[in-house]
Amino acid sequence: MSITRVNIGPIHPSTHGVLRLVVDLEGDTIENIEPHIGFLHRGVEKLVETRMYMQCPPYMEKIDYVAPMSVDELYVAAVEKAMGVEVSEKAQYVRVVLLELQRIASHLFWVGSICNDLGQLFTTFMWGFRDRDMVLHLLEIATGQRMFYVNMRLGGLSRDLPEGFGEKTLELMDYLEKRLKEYENLIEKNPIFVDRMKGIGRLSRGDAKEFGVTGHVMRASGLDYDVRSERPYYVYRKLNFRKQYHLSGDNLARYEVRIMEIKESIRLVREALAGMPEGSAAGMPIKLITPNAKNRIVMESRENPRGEEMIYLVADPQKPYRLSIRSPTFINLAALNHMARGSRLADLFSIMGTLDLVLADVDR
């Protein structure tokens, strides 16, 4: 049979941004995929070399626009490490609460968009967006912004949590738990969903290691590595965090890992709010910072919603000398060819959907 070469993207309904895939099809079966990335390459790594340390967080947030705070926090943590700044315990708790809320928001976004990729008419998408927006509203109460927060400061946050934030959060967490059951009824009990997800895009444990995938893709394949539990930062050690993983490594496993992670995050938020100590979470105001990097080379990694994000920072006193970001989606996307080869064209999009690509994060 002859091979049809189909060009998908860079403008396409389900590439989640500007991603171009050149797909070789034999009939309906995928022979080879050649991803073309870089349409969203902004050269952030080069750009920050010309900026002062605390001018960079806005750029960092745009790296992962679905979960901006996580990258912002990672960058600030790396700078803190370079400058030897300690984070107060209250600030640690607040950061954990906000990061977990951000994770919930990001995962809800994904749950909606994966159903869209499977061809549902935006119903779960709208549900996910609605619930995500409620979480974003909480973050807006806490930081003053709905999406791009820029609320991390050296040693803490731009401001303390406002009055009544805890009660509102707990209320929302109860609501979200109820909603997750509804999602289950709508999605997981749908035989077509299970049929489209089970056994599709299988990635074995060995291949997961070989291709270096990370985050939920890795954990769904049985590699139970979560930075929050293996190298606990902040108060995750105290919080009795349980990493979520699955053994089968297919689309359904990735979906289930994410749902379990939402539940775990809800539990973590509750626990962190209950254990929140007294004190101030405020960090240094930007104007008062006198940059004085002590450590020359800093490596810092965080479990972001999409996987392990790592910063390799070579610090000058005033500016980052070199800032290299290991983005999780970049390396997950590199494994796409291996995962989707041999499956059907329709499954390519569900596999790509489960990778949870954010093209800004891929291209940086």
Partner 1 sequence: MIYSLAYLLNSGNIYYEAAGVVAYAILVSILIFAFSYLFGWVERKLIAKMQYRHGPTYVGKYGILQNMADLVKLLAKEIIIPENANRFILLAAPILLVAMNIFLIFLIPFVPALQLGSFGLGLLAVFVVLGFTPILIFLTGFSSGNKFADISAQRSVLTLISYEIPMIIVIATAAALAHGYSIYSMVSAQSGIDFAFLMPIGLFIFFIAMLAELERPPFDLREADSELIAGWLTDISAPYYALFLLLDYSRMFLGSLLISIIFFGGWLGPAFLPPIVWLVAKAFTIAIFITILRATTMRMRIDKILRIGWIWLMPLALINLIIAYMLLL
Partner 2 sequence: MKVERQALTEKVSVLKSEGFDYLVKITAVDYVSHVDAIYIMRNMDKNVDEVLEVEMDPSDLWLPTIIKHHASADWYERELSEMFGIEIKGRHARRLLLEKWDGKGSPMRKNFVWGEPYPKS
The helices-and-strands tally (H runs, E runs) of the chain is: 15, 8
- State yes or no: residue 186 binds partner 1 (CB under 8 A): yes
Q: Map tokens 């490594």 to a residue.
A: 249
Tell the smallest beta-carbon distance from residue 126 to partner 1 (Å).
4
- State yes or no: residue 285 binds partner 1 (CB under 8 A): no
Residue 47 CA to residue 55 CA, distance in Å, equals 11
- State yes or no: residue 141 binds partner 1 (CB under 8 A): no
Residue 209 CA to residue 223 CA, distance in Å, equals 8
Report the residue number, 151 or 301, with the smaller CB distance to partner 2. Answer: 301
* Nearest of 275, 282, 261 to residue 97 by alpha carbon: 275
| N residues, the chain | 364
Residue 318 CA to residue 151 CA, distance in Å, equals 21
Where on the phi/psi map is residue 17: left (φ > 0), alpha (ψ -120 to 50), or beta?
left
- State yes or no: residue 123 binds partner 1 (CB under 8 A): yes
Residue 135 CA to residue 304 CA, distance in Å, equals 17
Report the residue number, 103 or 196, with the smaller CB distance to partner 1. Answer: 196
Judged by CB under 8 A, the chain residues 313 through 342 that form the site for partner 2 are 314, 321-322, 324, 326, 330-331, 334-335, 338
Which of partner 2, partner 1, none sits in contact with 126, Cβ below 5 to 8 A by type?
A: partner 1
* Nearest of 94, 11, 4, 16 to residue 354 by alpha carbon: 16
Which of partner 1, partner 2, none sits in contact with 123, Cβ below 5 to 8 A by type?
A: partner 1
Report the residue number, 86 or 182, with the smaller CB distance to partner 1. Answer: 182
Which of partner 1, partner 2, none sits in contact with 38, Cβ below 5 to 8 A by type?
A: partner 2
124 Cβ contact list (under 8 Å, min separation 6): 111, 112, 115, 116, 183, 186, 187
Report the residue number, 108 or 333, with the smaller CB distance to partner 2. Answer: 333
- State yes or no: residue 211 binds partner 2 (CB under 8 A): yes
Residues that bind partner 1 (CB under 8 A): 4, 6-7, 12-14, 28, 115-123, 126-127, 130, 186, 190, 192-193, 195-196, 344-349
Site of interaction with partner 2 (CB under 8 A): 37-39, 41, 43, 45-46, 209-213, 223, 225, 230-231, 299, 308, 310, 312, 314, 321-322, 324, 326, 330-331, 334-335, 338, 363-364
